[in-house]
């Protein structure tokens, strides 16, 4: 009987809880790369119209459209490793005789490693970086959040001879890409 008690007590000692225990939790964070344009108006598409002065006098140059600052660039990003992301911008075509300049402001909303805008540039068909150094971050959603975009339009004297009357529609493409 002593033998049975000794064996039974040794098994119960192995099955007893200790003062500590542990388990594992796996936290899975997805890769995120989302971008959109928001507007303070009803439509993110707009028309920039050069105008004739009134009263029109022979020998005068047409007037450039007012700057357009109604668009906001929003993005959400979770980076894969240490390589930051950037926002590239390209135009589907150029408008003969017209220079379209784009500037992005700093983002005053959101959190994380928000990217910083470049000095701005004239749109071209080749992609150019507008925002660089984006890490894991979000700008917040909607107009008045993220990077405010400003477009300006010029018919510079050296390109004035290329101007043609009529409307030209171009698409401006924003891409959130890895550096």
pLDDT at 42: 87
pLDDT at 132: 98
Q: Is 67 helix (H, G, I), strand (E, B) or coil?
A: coil
Residue 124 lies in a domain: yes
Pairing of strands 111-112, 85-91: unpaired
The CATH number covering residue 80 comes to 2.60.40
Structural domain containing residue 84: 25-178
pLDDT at 40: 87
Q: Which two tokens stand for residue 160?
A: 């004035």
Number of domains in the chain: 1
Residue 18 lies in a domain: no
Residue 4 lies in a domain: no
Residue 17 lies in a domain: no
**Sheet strands (E) in 61-166:** 68-78, 85-91, 99-104, 111-112, 116-117, 121-122, 128-134, 137-138, 147-154
Nearest of 148, 163, 176, 27 to residue 96 by alpha carbon = 163
Nearest of 75, 74, 73, 76 to residue 29 by alpha carbon = 76
Residue 9 lies in a domain: no
Residue 55 lies in a domain: yes
The pTM (predicted TM-score) of the whole model is: 0.86
Mean per-residue pLDDT pooled into runs of 10, the chain (179 residues): 52 71 95 95 93 88 96 96 95 97 98 97 98 98 98 96 96 95
For the chain, how many helices (H) and strands (E)? 1, 11
Nearest of 75, 74, 73, 71 to residue 39 by alpha carbon = 71
Residue 135 lies in a domain: yes
């Amino acid at each position: 009987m002593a033998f049975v008690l000794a064996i039974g007590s040794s098994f119960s000692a192995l099955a007893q809880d200790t003062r500590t225990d542990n388990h594992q939790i796996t936290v899975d964070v997805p890769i995120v790369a989302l971008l959109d344009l928001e507007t303070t108006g009803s439509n993110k598409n707009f028309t920039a119209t050069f105008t004739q002065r009134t009263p029109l006098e022979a020998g005068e140059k047409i007037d450039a459209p007012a700057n357009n600052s109604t668009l906001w660039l929003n993005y959400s990003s979770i980076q894969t490793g240490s390589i930051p992301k950037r926002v590239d911008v390209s135009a589907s075509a150029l408008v003969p005789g017209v220079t379209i300049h784009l500037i992005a402001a700093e983002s005053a909303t959101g959190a994380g490693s928000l990217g910083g805008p470049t000095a701005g540039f004239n749109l071209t068909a080749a992609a150019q970086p507008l925002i660089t150094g984006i890490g894991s971050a979000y700008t917040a959603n909607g107009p008045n959040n993220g990077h405010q975009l400003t477009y300006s339009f010029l018919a510079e004297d050296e390109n004035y001879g290329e101007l043609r009357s009529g409307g030209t529609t171009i698409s401006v493409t924003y891409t959130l890409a890895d550096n």
